[in-house]
Structure formats: structure tokens, C-alpha cells
Amino acid sequence: MKKFSIDMIRNTVFVGHQSSGKTILGEAMLFDAGVTNRIGKIEDGNTVFDSAADEIERQISISAGLAWFEHDKVKINLLDTPGYEDFVGEVISSITIAEGGVVVISADSGVEVGTEKTWKYLDAKGLPRIVCVNKMDKEHADFDKCVADAQNYLGAKVMPLTLPIGQGDSFKGVVDILKNRAFVYSGGGKFAEEDVPAGMEGVVGEWRQKLMDFAAESDDSLLEKFLESGELSDQELARGLSAGCQSGTFVPLVAVSATENIGIRQLMDVIVKMLPSPEWRTEIDTVSGSGEIEKKKAGPGEPTAAFVFKALSEKHLGDLSFIRTFSGDMKVGDDLFNSSLESAERIGQLYFVQGKERVDTDSIPAGDIGAAVKLKSAKVGNTLCPKSKQIVIAPIEFPQPSLHTAIEAKAKGEMDKVSAGLARLSDEDLTFTVENNAELRQTILSGQGELHLEVILGRLKRKFTVEVDMIAPKIPYRETISAKAEAQGKHKKQRGGRGQYGDVWLRLEPQSRGGGFEFNNAIVGGVIPGKFIPAVEKGIRDAMETGVVAGYKFQDVKVTLYDGSFHTVDSSDAAFKMAGSKGFKAAVKNAKPVILEPIYDVEVLVPEEFMGDIMGDLSGRRGKIQGTEQEGSQQKIKAQVPLADLHRYATSLRSMTHGKAAHTREFSHYEVVPRDIAQRLIAEAEAEKEEEK
């Protein structure tokens, strides 16, 4: 297996909105580089990148695909990421280990919400990038609109390096502005180099001048020459633009059609010439023993530091750990240390990955990406390094789940099997969580969206032969009081021999929302011995756990124990615990009890044309609109909405906006539920009690 020095590698991640054509773009590049003998088709299920059973079935990318090819003596590691927001974890993990990105825009759609989201992820990591306007052969392709969108919503630093010759059915090639030459395609990726077509000289000249002005400003030596001669050579122009791209002050834009294999070779040229090699990353973020982020040197001359950014377990592949080597050279037979889990790890087989195919290698050098098989303990986000030179590379930060559902095993007694299967799947996907919620008495599965949850449960069925039903999660309502009240709690039993006696008087007062529980001992004169006071508080706390009105936890109440009595023989901790519980329940009934519901802060990022529909829908969900603001090409709507009305909101939102909107939510506070809802909840609780009897 040929090895490449660090300066001859490009780790490139393809990102963008769903259906922008990222996967087929990668397929076209593999074909053009001679890796494959045809451009795979998603509908035929034969692409290199989408090889998993659920990807072939659904005809979408679910996991990040990895493949590589050689172009102009440079190895390009290509990470094809999903466009659906549900699988954002794959995007973030791939961006974390890449040095450059290709942001793919569909020529007939322009900049979309997914474009802007992935752009921000690239911004967060400071990655240089290229904008690729794909599908120039489509009926409604509009290159000028895409350029304007990119400059308006992504930044004015976006400028084209290639211009399309025609568009839609007439798209037949591109003009390379730097070379001032046209490349006219005749099918199968074959092209002829020609003069710039008549009628395009003016626009090509205008863009070339803009690029030259920019390149000169990026480098003092170029600026000096430009001011003297008014011209830069092609090499000087390319050098200045490359420096601008790698510093983040310039973003090149190119036009292609992946399905027709037009402009692909020029895109590959731009990746090699404009995006940086792994040498660009001279430092990596590591976590110190105190949890602080520290910068550490990266590169071939440093001790081995390899990062597990993805895991995959499939029958035809086995357990694969995808690894990016940031420093040193990870070799077969190395005894390394998993510094994240503090465990030893011996490196067995290593591979370079070509979709679902693997190519043996004896090492993964600094800057390169590969995979290891059957590592003993390594998981996503772990660092492998020498034990004597330990570092912990900063883990990947994934977004919180936005959709929650309760699950039940279809077959009785299989929930343990469900839990074990989901635990295994979570090793591959850190963007979903499973919680056995004792309060709700439900198992809650949380993910990035409806499709994400469906994929997880589909894999659970396929890999672990267990099925579940998704049901609505119960709402963690709360109970509290709205007025002061006092009551006696007396527990007295006499059945021969020693009896039980506890007597308390309690005063309840409402606390401010979120004020919690406060217990105040105001006993004077020893009317209740001090040794029984903790038992009274324990009885009150137990009553709060099970609620008084409808069986929900109690909160935001101050309880004062101010009087009572005891029996020298019959009083005990157990008796006063019961007295405390009885007194609390009796006082609650006189303190105007209410039921509270959780309210969430919701932010919806949506195109302006859908604002009215979304705001109306939020109002219909008992939401209170807090305001709106512009964010890029989108509008951000802020609202507060009861959790009870947010079930499957992510699904509804995407349906209403054709996948062009997304939302985040975060718990805000509790509020009193409307009277009709409270009555329904009380009736349901009483019916449940009767059923249990």
C-alpha cells in the first residue's frame, strides 16, 4: 500500500443540505480518479459511500462514508456526510478530524437551512472550505443566484474560480478563471481544453480582476508586484488565493454536475491547490488533568496520538474503529494506551477504508485516516497514545437530542435485551440517549429526529432481533400549593402491647417557582422530642414523592413543624414518619393545590416564507411567542411552549417546511396547567388507582 507524506494528503469533508448531491459527487470523483469503473447510483444501491443495509433501503446517507483516491500525486481522503439533520453527529465527527470542507449547494435550490448549519459547524472548527454548486444540469439551475446566495448568507469572501458554460440542459463545461481557459465535456468525464467561449470573455475578465485584487491584498510581496505591474502571474494568483482560502479570508466556488461528470476534474484540482494538508494543523486541543483545554503540538515528529472518531459494527466488516492519526505513526503491533479510559490497547490489523472495502496497511501515519479492527476498549472520542507520553484529545461535542419517545418491547420480558442492544448501538452513535426514568416508569429514547429514532430501532431489530413500540412519553408534571394552610397529622394505633403514636401540626406556605422544598423545625418546649424530627421530615418528603392531587411529585413548598405531642412508650420514628405524611396531605388539601407543567424555551430557525405557519402552529400548541430575529437567510422564532404539546414537534416542523426548518428546546420553568387539563389529569390518576385495585 502506497504511503503519502503529510504534505501530500488532503482530508476533506463533504457537507450540505440533504439531496444536494454529496454522495454522487464523491462517486464521480472516485470514477474520475480511476478507483471505480462507474459512477454509483443511489437508487440502484451500488454507491461506494452508502453501503449499509438501511442506507440502501432508504436511499439516503445515514453514516459518514470514507473513501480515498489519488489526484495529482496527492491522496484525498473524502468523508461523505449525511444531509439530514437527524444524523448531524456524523457531520460533526467528520469535521473534527478534517482540514478542509466542500460545501455542496444544489444549483436549483441555492443556500438552504442545511447549508447554513453545516457552514457554522465548519466555522466552529475554523476549517478552510470550498463551495461546490452541484446539479448545474438540472432544469431550474441558476448559478448566479447560487453565487449571490453564498455571498449574502455565507459571506462576501465567496468568489467563483470556475464559471459554467450553459446551465440546465445546455450545461456542457466550465471556464477556469485562473487559467482563462474553457473545459468542454463530451461525456464520461472526457473534456477538451479550449478558448473561453464568445460572449463570456467579459464576465470571466471581471471575476479574474476581482480575484487578482483579492490575491494581491492577501500577501505583501504580491501586493507590491501588483501595484508595480498591475498584473499577477497564474502561479502568483493561485498562491495568493490559496493563502486566503487557508486563512479563512477567501472561499473559492466551483460549478459541477456530478451525475454528468462535468467539472469534477477542476473541483479535484481546487481541492489539491486550495485546501490545506494536515501540516496546517500544527496543534490539537487536548484535555488536561484539571479538565482545561490545552494546545499540544501535532505532526509526524511528535509521539503517536490517534483519535477514534467513528465506530462501525457490521457482519461483513466486523467491529471497526475509524482513526485519525494526528501525530506520530500508528503501527501494527504497537502497544498503545487508551488515555481516555486508562486501559492498554495492542494494535492488531490496520486498514485504509474504501467504502465497505478495506486495504491492509502496516501503519497509519500522521495526517492520515484509517481503521483498526477489534480494539479491546476503544470507543468514539477516545485517544490512543504511548503510556509514557499520555495526552487526551478533546472529545467531540455533540448536540442534545431534540425528539423523545418512550419505548416498550413488543414481546413480554425482552426489555433487558432491548437495553443491552441499545447500549451496543450507542457505542457507534453518541447522539442518542436511553434513560430508564424511575419517575415516569418508562424507558425514554431520545434522538435527533423521527428518522434518527426509526433508524436506531431498525438497527436494533436487524442486529439484535428485538422489536419495540414507540409510545408517547409521560409528562413530568408537578404539584404545588397556591395558599397557606395548616393541618394536624396524627397516627395512633393500639392493638395490645406497645402501640404507635405520633402527632404533628404543620404549616404549609408556597415558595416561589423553582424555590424547592424547605423544612423548618419550630418546635419549642420539647413537645416533640428532637430525635423524632427527622422522621417527620422523612414522612413529608415521601408524601411529596408520590403527590397528593394526581400522583405527581410535589415542589416549591415550605413546611413548618410548629406543634404536636408524643407518647413516652408508643412514639417511634415510624409513627412520626406516618404522622408527617398524613399532616402534609391534609394541609395540601386546604392550601389550594395546583398541578404544574414543564415549559420549554423553543427556538425555531425557519425560512421567512414559513414564519406565519410556524408561529400559528406554536400558538396552537399553547406557545407564547417571545420574539423573532434574523439569522443569516433564516428567521429565528423564540417561544415558550408546554412540553405536553411538543411531542414529535421535530417531525411536524420538518413536514410543514419541507425539511427547511429546525428547532432546539431547553427546559425553562414550571407553570400552572389550565383548569381543564388539571381536571383531566386528576380524573386519569383516579382511574389508574381504580384499575390498580
CATH assignment at residue 418: 3.30.70.870
Determine, yes or no, domain membership for 690. no
pLDDT of residue 552: 94
For 510-566, write each residue's pLDDT tens digit. Answer: 999 989 999 999 999 999 999 999 999 999 999 999 999 999 999 999 999 999 999
Closest CA relative to residue 357, chosen from 308, 314, 306: 314
Please give the full DSSP string across 235-288, using - where no structure is assigned. HHHHHHHHHHHHHTS-EEEEE-BTTTTBSHHHHHHHHHHHSPPGGG--EEEEE-
**492 and 429 co-located in one domain:** no
Distance CA 162, CA 179 (A): 10
The whole domain housing 464 covers: 403-471
If you average pLDDT over residues 608-617, what whole number do you get?
95
Determine, yes or no, domain membership for 492. yes
**296 and 349 co-located in one domain:** yes
> What's 494's domain CATH number?
3.30.230.10
Percent of the chain with pLDDT over 90: 80
**584 and 617 co-located in one domain:** no
Provide the grid cell at 131. 463551495
pLDDT of residue 89: 95
Determine, yes or no, domain membership for 180. no
**275 and 291 co-located in one domain:** no
Give the residue carrying C-alpha cell 419495540.
Answer: 468
**264 and 376 co-located in one domain:** no
**Helix or strand or coil: residue 669?**
strand
Per-residue pLDDT at 316 exceeds 70: no
pLDDT of residue 641: 97
For 258-281, write each residue's pLDDT tens digit. Answer: 999 999 999 999 999 999 999 999
**522 and 636 co-located in one domain:** no
**662 and 545 co-located in one domain:** no
Angle in degrees, 0-180, between the axes of helices 88-97 and 113-125, rounded to the nearest 10: 30
If you average pLDDT over residues 164-176, what whole number do you get?
97
Distance CA 8, CA 5 (A): 5
Determine, yes or no, domain membership for 513. yes
- State which of 358, 389, 420 marks the end of a domain: 389
pLDDT of residue 100: 97
**494 and 635 co-located in one domain:** no
The total of structural domains in the chain comes to: 5
Per-residue pLDDT at 189 exceeds 70: yes
For 330-354, write each residue's pLDDT tens digit. Answer: 999 999 999 999 999 999 999 999 9
165 vs 605, more confident = 165
**613 and 561 co-located in one domain:** no
* Residue 444 binned pLDDT confidence (cut-offs 50, 70, 90): very high
Distance CA 359, CA 351 (A): 5
Distance CA 33, CA 22 (A): 17
Neighbouring CB atoms inside 10 A of 190's CB total: 10
Determine, yes or no, domain membership for 72. yes
Closest CA relative to residue 171, chosen from 142, 208, 130: 142
Per-residue pLDDT at 693 exceeds 70: no
Give the residue carrying C-alpha cell 423573532.
Answer: 628
> What's 639's domain CATH number?
3.30.70.240
Distance CA 82, CA 669 (A): 35
* Stated pTM of the model: 0.85
402 vs 19, more confident = 19
pLDDT of residue 402: 80
- State which of 431, 446, 471 marks the end of a domain: 471
**443 and 520 co-located in one domain:** no
**310 and 362 co-located in one domain:** yes
8 Å CB contact between 599 and 592? no
* Residue 123 binned pLDDT confidence (cut-offs 50, 70, 90): very high
- State which of 264, 280, 296 marks the end of a domain: 280
8 Å CB contact between 253 and 159? yes
Determine, yes or no, domain membership for 186. no
For 492-507, write each residue's pLDDT tens digit. Answer: 997 766 789 999 999 9
If you average pLDDT over residues 189-211, what whole number do you get?
95
**420 and 379 co-located in one domain:** no
Poorest-confidence range of 215-229, 362-376, 488-502?
Answer: 215-229
